Amino acid sequence: MLRLIREPSDSGATHGSLYLNDVWVCWTLEDVMREQPGVAVASWKIPGSTAIPAGRYPVELTLSNRFKVVLPEVKHVAGFEGIRIHAGNTVADTEGCILVGLTRGGNMIMKSKDALEWLLLRLSPQPASGGTWIDIENPSGRHLTTSTVRPVVA
């Protein structure tokens, strides 16, 4: 089970922390959260510049037509298609997807390929019906710091 805990959007980006089975894996970076609960996605989404809504989604390892490699795909996101967890450093790399990295600074994450490689090694191909899921949580007023997460031990 993956769990993404988002921080408040700031300066055009949304940072977060990704956990696998309750163990911190890496930092995340997404577009700005624009979600308006109870309002149709089409009325608040800016294509290519909006984080997906909070919620629980199945994740499947599938071939990405864009990247030409197998990547985690977040499935069944209302109003969004082709949402991937992939490497990248700034919101210019997201287009609604979730970027992963082992370090961060400002509105960037770094060591992104290392974080993605680590994650891919631990996710196995499973059917969406009972396989891997991701819970995405919007901020609840508390802020995560490096002292509140446990680093990955490779």
As a whole number of Å, the end-to-end CA separation of the chain is 18
Task: Kindly give, in sequence order, each residue whose CB lies less than 8 Å from that of residue 86, ignoring residues fewer than 6 positions away.
Answer: 64, 67, 71, 97, 98, 99, 100, 116
pLDDT at residue 125, rounded to an integer: 59
Cα–Cα distances in angstroms (integers) from residue 97 to residues 1, 50, 85, 120, 149, in the given order: 18, 9, 6, 16, 23
**The model's pTM:** 0.87
The C-alpha atoms of residue 87 and residue 116 are separated, in whole angstroms, by 6
Does residue 151 register a pLDDT over 50?
no
Does residue 3 register a pLDDT over 60?
yes
Does residue 49 register a pLDDT over 80?
yes
Does residue 33 register a pLDDT over 50?
yes
Percent share of the chain, pLDDT over 90: 82
> Three-state DSSP class for 113?
helix
